[in-house]
Amino acid sequence: MALLTQEQLDGHQIVQIAFVVDNLEDAARGWSGTFGAGPFFVHENMPVSDVRGPDGRPAVFSQDVAIGQWGSLMVELVKWHDLQAGPVADVLGRSGFNHVAYFAPDSDAERERLEAAGHKVVVSLGFGDLRVHFHDAVAEHGFAIEHYPCADVVEELYRKVAEAAQGWDGADPVRGPIS
């Protein structure tokens, strides 16, 4: 059973699954020990800018993340510091399975396509020079959808995490930020 059909994803491949957790290191060790995922790289206070809520006004979005590889997927573990109350927190603040992510060559067109399908943007933010969007798909799919444009900086991050997992022997499953 697929989380989303290829038609709903408009041909995009899910590259990340994300979970909200209480403790990044414990969750990363759990993923490593139970599923062989990792190693996980912890990034405290993940830098984002120009955070906007569903109404386009400034919003609050502060998190630590741990990212690791599990087969062909990146696993992102999220620990929230601060998340604006309302639709943003309702969609992204839930513990457990939280969102899927994929690359969209035309991020603006993808935002419009998802909104036309009833999945409104709950938050958009700057990550470096990129604009990242999170859409509310909880009612239909049980999770949010994140997409970002194809860009060297993000693709490089994915490549480094995947390379760290190649031949990894399970030692040192929780590490500092990937550089």
Is the link from the previous residue into 39 a cis peptide, with omega within 30 of 0? yes
pLDDT digits (tens, 9 = 90+) for 53-79: 898 889 888 999 999 999 999 999 999
- The arithmetic mean of pLDDT across residues 130-137, rounded, is 94
Band of residue 1 on the pLDDT scale cut at 50, 70, 90: very low
pLDDT digits (tens, 9 = 90+) for 111-121: 999 999 999 99
**Please, what is the average pLDDT of the chain?**
91
- The arithmetic mean of pLDDT across residues 15-21, rounded, is 96
Q: For residue 157, is pLDDT > 60?
A: yes
pLDDT in the model for residue 4: 53
Helices (H) and strands (E) in the chain — how many of each? 5, 10
Band of residue 28 on the pLDDT scale cut at 50, 70, 90: very high
Q: For residue 128, is pLDDT > 90?
A: no
- The arithmetic mean of pLDDT across residues 161-173, rounded, is 96
pTM over 0.75: yes
8 A C-beta contact, residue 156 and residue 165 = no
Q: For residue 2, is pLDDT > 70?
A: no
Chain-centre distance for alpha carbon 33: 22
SS3 25: helix
